Amino acid sequence: MLDQLWNSWGATAIGPLHVKAGIPNQDSWMARRYKWGNVVVVSDGLGSKAHSDHGSKAACLAVFDAAKSYQSNPEASIIDVLRLIHANWLVKIAPFAPSDCSATCLFSVQIEGRITLGRLGDGMIAAFGETEKNAPYPQR
């Protein structure tokens, strides 16, 4: 897995009701490859909130910032990583109120041979791929 490159793709589509009402697309997704690993994030902005488009973009960026810290200390508690994502998000949505920027967040962080999947809010996330037949799996 260390020598394999991750491939990722994504798309978001604005719903017809939002088009009719002139409401922007409120979903975001981003993927980045770093020297130390890969990060993929999907965020679904809550359509009933005034700035959920801003909130979903901020959620993606907040995960990238937290992943950079996490890669320096991969033994950190995932609970602490989630708290860091939330704190980063709060800074990035300023000056808007969190209640106006609500968004879900699903992410995958790959650091060396370890993959961490996370979820803030609702949704599902999975990772799949091919491995060597007898490749050892890192214990966590």
Delimit the domains of the chain by residue range: 25-120
Structure tokens belonging to residue 107: 């992410």
- Alpha-carbon distances of 84 from 70, 80, 91, 130, rounded to whole Å: 10, 6, 11, 31
Distance between start and end Cα atoms, the chain: 17
Q: Given phi > 0 = left and psi -120 to 50 = alpha, else beta, which region is 81?
A: alpha
Question: Average pLDDT, whole number, for the chain?
Answer: 86
pLDDT at 139: 46
Model confidence band, residue 85 (pLDDT cutoffs 50, 70, 90): very high
Model confidence band, residue 130 (pLDDT cutoffs 50, 70, 90): low
The span from the CA of 86 to the CA of 97, in Å, is: 13
Give Cα 115 distance to the centre of its chain.
13
Sign of CA dihedral 94, 26, 62, 64: negative
Model confidence band, residue 1 (pLDDT cutoffs 50, 70, 90): very low
Sheet holding 37-44, edge to edge: 27-34, 37-44, 105-111, 114-120
C-beta neighbour count of 32 within 10 angstroms: 15
pLDDT at 32: 94
pLDDT, one tens digit per residue, over 54-72 is 999 999 999 999 999 999 9
State whether residue 114 is helix, strand or coil. strand
